[in-house]
Amino acid sequence: DRVLQVVAKRLQKYADSGYVPFRIGGDEFVVLVSNKSKDDVEEYANHIMKEIKRPIVFADFVIHPEGSVGIAEGNIKEKDIDQILSEADLSLYNVKRTGKVGWHDDGHIEWVNMIKENLLDTQTKGFVTPYFQPIVYKDGSIASAEALFRSVNPEINRNLGKFFGTIDKLNWFDVVDLRMADAVFSEIRRKFWAENKSGKIAFSLNVHPYTLLKVSNYAEYIDDLAERYNLNRNHITVEV
């Protein structure tokens, strides 16, 4: 709370008729800018970044705040305020890990929106599917299977580097990992169960370290999936 109060005062200190700051919730602030050039806005944003990052002394502690700035522009006669805020928010996501200032980019935002719509707003089976590479015994029975990521969206499959780069910038690896785990369990049950009714088929899941940090109950989630799809949890390996 103390950090938010200090940051708010620092923003207010540089407010005038052309720069009006608001707090919109949590640790997010918005500054409405009018009648300023792009150079002026960027100079102001970089100045604010320096102000935000100045150490804050509280009791016996020295706090070093971090922050990022996402910028979007628009004529309120052509765009409503929610759209402008959404574009600024997406720009912020793009630079959140770098602690820099980022402008709205139509091409980048279009790509982010496509991923967001496919990945966050739909069910797993409507977006991703595992492509299996079975490992078989000499008698032809399946010993284990490696699952590779595949998207049902051809644009994403053609640009997997860009896809995972965007996922990394937006910190959405946990969403990908959870949805892929569900898809893998479902497909193993559907495709391989007939050949391995004993449930002894073994498989591995790769998980991003960020997922384990963000999803504290990841092991319970995997256990629940195993129970839901009637698979033996003792034959599941999670690789970080």
What's the pLDDT tens digit per position in 172-183?
788 778 877 887
pLDDT in tens, 194-209: 555 545 667 777 888 8
pLDDT in tens, 56-74: 888 888 988 888 888 888 7
* DSSP label of 16: B
Q: Which amino acid is at 50?
A: K
For the cut 70, the answer to whether the pLDDT of residue 127 exceeds it is no
Distance CA 222, CA 103 (A): 39
62-75: string of b/e by CB count within 10 Å (b at 16+)?
A: eeebebbbbbbeee
Distances (CA, A) of 131 to 14, 55, 58, 149: 54, 50, 53, 6
DSSP element (H, E) containing 23:
strand 19-25
Strands 28-33 and 19-25: what pairing? antiparallel
pLDDT in tens, 78-87: 777 877 887 7
What angle separates helix 106-115 from helix 160-170, to the nearest 10 degrees?
A: 90
3-state secondary structure of 20: strand
User: Could you give phi then psi for residue 238, rounded to 5 degrees?
Assistant: -105, 125
Distances (CA, A) of 104 to 19, 38, 144: 18, 12, 46
Vertex 162 angle, CA 158 and 165, to 5° = 145
Distance CA 150, CA 176 (A): 11
Distance CA 141, CA 130 (A): 20
Cross-strand partners of 4: none
Distance CA 166, CA 1 (A): 31
Return the higher-pLDDT residue of 75 and 120: 75
DSSP element (H, E) containing 49:
helix 38-52
pLDDT in tens, 131-166: 666 777 778 777 766 666 566 677 777 777 777 777
Q: Which amino acid is at 69?
A: V
